[in-house]
Amino acid sequence: MRQLSSLRLDPEARILFPREEQTCRVLKLENCSEVAVAWKIKTTSPDCFLVKPRAGVLLASETIEANLTHLPGSEEGARFQVQATPVDGDSFKREDWRDVPRSDIEVAELRSFLVSSAFMQRRGPLEDSSTHQSSDARLAGDCEGGGVREDLGANEDLEVLEQRWEPEYRDSGWENEATRERTPWGRTASEQSRFLVRSNGAQCSQSGGTVWQRPLGTRQAACRSDHVEIDAGPSAERARRTDEKILNENVPMHPVVKGVLGLLIAMLFVNLYLKPFIVMGYDHFTQS
């Protein structure tokens, strides 16, 4: 993959979101090349951020604004990756991304930070690396309560970073936004259900099944030079213990079932123990 050059992004490097409320930020994409360019946006935290639209085609000199919405109640920051490739024509299906060589794909990365409202008033929503030269460590120190879910130490290898994207957002799994049925809140049914579960304090444990069976708790991913470590955090352990507790609980028996079982036990007791004495007594009475 190459560094993004066919699209101009605004902001280019960093976006701040207030932690306490749902907020929508705009990512502006402008085609600065002379050919049509297909683009799409990936994120490392699809449970915490909604991206709309997520993909499309920009003709030469065209511009589009993508809305990045932070869901309230989430405590994670995210990385956003913009991918682009030159195409012929003004249409590009999602299946076509599978046939694009990695060498023809251009990428750019943006980082999001969750900060307090007071910090937002001091800095503003958009943090561009060209206007703010402070380090990520300094910015993380300004953000309160560890709300910044960001790997300090920039310039990770994009090939390693690619492994962190959720399966839903890989080339073979991203969805067409126009065909996704959404709730009145602007979320898909699966996104709304995950948000309600997260808001009620419940957590889902990670499963190796379908794409949607993804942990909803805190996810801290650390990029290394040779591998990627993903720690589900204490929420996954709490979810596992909750599942075990539910499985081990004794389900109460219905009164009707108890009555039927009691009647059967009584009949069995009569046939095994009382019936022989009753028969002997009856025979003795008839003989006398």
- What does the pLDDT read at residue 38? 93
- What does the pLDDT read at residue 236? 65
Q: What confidence tens digit (pLDDT) does each residue in 196-221 have?
A: 544 444 333 333 333 333 333 433 33
- What does the pLDDT read at residue 186? 52
**Percentage of the chain modeled with pLDDT above 70:** 53
pLDDT tier at 105, thresholds 50, 70, 90: very high
Structure tokens at 194: 């995950």
- What does the pLDDT read at residue 123? 62
d(Cα 49, Cα 17) in Å, to the nearest integer?
10
Looking at per-residue confidence, does 253 or 170 come out higher?
253
Asked whether residue 286 is assigned to any structural domain, the reply reads no
Q: What confidence tens digit (pLDDT) does each residue in 54-75 have?
A: 999 999 889 999 999 888 766 6
- Please give the helix or strand (H or E) that residue 230 lies within, else none: strand 228-231
What is the rounded average pLDDT for all residues in the chain? 68
Asked whether residue 111 is assigned to any structural domain, the reply reads yes
| pLDDT, average across residues 141-155 | 38
Q: Counting Cβ atoms within 10 Å, is residue 195 exposed (0-12), middle (13-18) or buried (19+)?
A: buried
Domain count for the chain, please give it. Answer: 1
Q: What confidence tens digit (pLDDT) does each residue in 10-23 have?
A: 988 888 888 777 88
Q: What confidence tens digit (pLDDT) does each residue in 25-54 have?
A: 899 999 999 999 999 999 888 888 889 999
Angle of CA points 173, 38, 130, to nearest 5°: 100
Asked whether residue 83 is assigned to any structural domain, the reply reads yes
Q: How far is CA 93 from CA 27, 53, 66, 96, 171, in A?
A: 22, 14, 18, 5, 11
- What does the pLDDT read at residue 214? 39
Residue 139 has pLDDT above 60, yes or no: no
pLDDT tier at 122, thresholds 50, 70, 90: low
Asked whether residue 221 is assigned to any structural domain, the reply reads no
Per DSSP, the residues of 9-77 read EESSSEEEEETTS-EEEEEEEEE-SSSEEEEEEEES-TTTEEEES-EEEE-TT-EEEEEEEEPTT----
User: Residue 172 maps to which CATH number?
Assistant: 2.60.40.10
Asked whether residue 174 is assigned to any structural domain, the reply reads yes
Looking at per-residue confidence, does 249 or 136 come out higher?
249
Nearest to 168 by CA among 188, 195, 198: 188
d(Cα 6, Cα 29) in Å, to the nearest integer?
10
Q: What is the pTM of this model?
A: 0.46
| pLDDT, average across residues 160-189 | 42
- What does the pLDDT read at residue 75? 64
- What does the pLDDT read at residue 27? 93
| pLDDT, average across residues 108-112 | 90
| pLDDT, average across residues 250-259 | 79
Looking at per-residue confidence, does 188 or 101 come out higher?
101
Asked whether residue 281 is assigned to any structural domain, the reply reads no
Asked whether residue 245 is assigned to any structural domain, the reply reads no
Q: What confidence tens digit (pLDDT) does each residue in 212-248 have?
A: 333 334 333 333 333 333 344 556 677 767 767 666 6
Q: Counting Cβ atoms within 10 Å, is residue 100 exposed (0-12), middle (13-18) or buried (19+)?
A: middle
Bond before 86 cis per omega within 30 degrees: no
Q: How far is CA 273 from CA 29, 263, 278, 281, in A?
A: 87, 15, 9, 14
- What does the pLDDT read at residue 249? 63
Helix (H, G, I), strand (E, B) or coil at 164: coil
Asked whether residue 132 is assigned to any structural domain, the reply reads yes
- Domain residue limits at 142: 2-179
Nearest to 16 by CA among 144, 108, 170, 187: 144
Looking at per-residue confidence, does 146 or 268 come out higher?
268
